[in-house]
Amino acid sequence: MKRIAVFDSKKYDESSFAPYLKQYEFAFFKDKLSLHTVILAKGFDAVMCFVNDDLSKDVLDKLSEFGIHAVFLRCAGYNNVDLAAAYKNKIHVVRVPAYSPYAIAEHAFALLLSLNRHIHKAYIRSRDFNFNLDGLTGFDLHEKTVGVIGTGKIGRVFIDIAKGFGMHVICYDPYPVKDSDYEYVSLDDLYTRSDVISLHCPLIEANRHMIDKKAIEKMKKGVFIINTSRGGLIDSKALLEGLKEKKVGAVGLDVYEEEANLFYKDNSLKIINDDVLSLLIQLPNVIITSHQAYLTHEALDNIAKTTVQNMDEYFGGSFIQNELCYHCEKNKDPQACYHARAKRCF
Ligand code: NAD
């Protein structure tokens, strides 16, 4: 039976992979994969990783040295993987491209609704029998303009939800959906016209800090910014400044650029050495969740099912349909090749 080292695993991973224990032997490690923990992978046939595992060159070199040539990501995003190093080491990197776009889009909307109607504040007040309504006024989402950055699987579900609320939707995507009735605009237009901006694009080097000081300057005063994609898309310091200057009206983050050593852990008894995060968290118009937008029963079941399918394909020697490859990244088009090719990358 093939043995898989599962990094950054949570209790729910053990539950969702339990139906597959007859097919694979899983060792669930709570530690994230890093240069310090990679030794744990020695002797296994493959590793299974998540959003904050370190799959940089040095770690991939070690995996290859241990004879491991497959990394199974339990996620869609792969900004934590050095694909060039993976390719050089002949390591196949396979992801779960879709497991529930609804889970993430609904969470993005939950952040938006909570921030706008101050649910997080009202909840705390009413638990204290404080039924005062001062400061809790929101606005109708109906007829407001929402700018959606990235109209892939999640962005499209988000658009459907926004339309259900009667919002006017404008979009930006370098690869627009063909034959859609979406109103695509330039990024600058999106910044200047949107009351709410929601990010649904992958993080690549070219769009790191796409929401920076300059972008925020272009936005409407009071804009709401929702990020359920990747923390690195936003320059957090610029975001904090925007909030302090009241240019940004509210922020909902499920991801944060420095989340790797904080999220998924109980840090409540620690001193947090991240002043930007500490300041963001204490603002009344900011809600931060712990990269949990994917966390629905349906999504977890789908992640386990697709990951096992990916493993079956890899170990079975067939075409690995969800494999990432170096060439796609080189072409700067994350979707460019794996639909087109019908064989393994190498
Ligand atoms: P997808 O591949 O279906 O869609 C991504 C879209 O973004 C594509 O249409 C692509 O053309 C577009 N895009 C690429 N570069 C862009 C850019 N610079 N500006 C604007 N658009 C750009 O992906 P998806 O399934 O919709 O997921 C989107 C992102 O959501 C993922 O990349 C991942 O980072 C994030 N995500 C977060 C969670 C979570 O739990 N918070 C879970 C899953 C995915």
**Any idea where the domains of the chain sit in the sequence?**
3-99+297-341, 101-288
The protein residue with its alpha carbon nearest to ligand 1, atom 1, reads: 152
The protein residue with its alpha carbon nearest to ligand 1, atom 2, reads: 152
CATH of domain 3-99+297-341: 3.40.50.720
The protein residue with its alpha carbon nearest to ligand 1, atom 12, reads: 150
The CA 152 to ligand 1 mean position distance, Å, reads: 6
Overall size of the chain counted in residues: 346
The protein residue with its alpha carbon nearest to ligand 1, atom 14, reads: 201
pLDDT tens digits along 168-222: 999 999 999 999 999 999 999 999 999 999 999 999 999 999 999 999 999 999 9
- 230 labelled catalytic: yes
Residue pair 76/99 in contact (Cβ under 8 Å)? The answer is: yes
pLDDT tens digits along 9-55: 999 999 999 999 999 999 999 999 999 999 999 999 999 999 999 99
The CA 201 to ligand 1 mean position distance, Å, reads: 3
C-alpha–C-alpha distance, residues 230 and 4, integer Å: 27
Using the atom order of ligand 1, give the atom closest to the CA of residue 151: 9
Using the atom order of ligand 1, give the atom closest to the CA of residue 177: 9
Q: Ligand 1: which of 177, 182, 201, 333 to mutate, most ligand atoms within 8 Å of CB?
A: 201
Q: Which CATH architecture has domain 101-288?
A: 3-Layer(aba) Sandwich (3.40)
Whole-structure pTM value: 0.91
pLDDT tens digits along 79-123: 999 999 999 999 999 999 999 999 999 999 999 999 999 999 999
Three-state DSSP at 45 gives coil
- 120 labelled catalytic: no
C-alpha–C-alpha distance, residues 139 and 130, integer Å: 22
pLDDT confidence tier of residue 336, bands split at 50, 70 and 90? low
Residues with CB under 6 A from ligand 1: 76-77, 98, 101, 104, 149-155, 172-175, 200-203, 207, 228-230, 254-255, 291, 293-294
Using the atom order of ligand 1, give the atom closest to the CA of residue 294: 40
Distance set, CA 29 to CA 5, 33, 71, 307 (Å): 7, 9, 15, 17
pLDDT, residue 339, reads: 46
Residue pair 110/300 in contact (Cβ under 8 Å)? The answer is: no
Residue pair 120/114 in contact (Cβ under 8 Å)? The answer is: yes
The CA 227 to ligand 1 mean position distance, Å, reads: 11
Q: Compute CA 45 distance to the chain's CA centroid, rounded to the nearest angstrom.
A: 27
Residue pair 20/28 in contact (Cβ under 8 Å)? The answer is: no
Strand partners for 211: 234
Copy the structure tokens of residue 213. Answer: 């000081």
- Predicted confidence (pLDDT) at residue 327 exceeds the cutoff of 80: no
The protein residue with its alpha carbon nearest to ligand 1, atom 36, reads: 229
C-alpha–C-alpha distance, residues 125 and 244, integer Å: 24
Q: Ligand 1: which of 173, 212, 234, 335 to mutate, most ligand atoms within 8 Å of CB?
A: 173
C-alpha–C-alpha distance, residues 112 and 296, integer Å: 18
Three-state DSSP at 160 gives helix
pLDDT tens digits along 49-90: 999 999 999 999 999 999 999 999 999 989 999 999 999 999
Catalytic residue among 230, 257, 313, 329: 230
- 259 labelled catalytic: yes
pLDDT, residue 88, reads: 93
- Please tell me if the domain spanning 3-99+297-341 has the same topology as the one spanning 101-288: yes
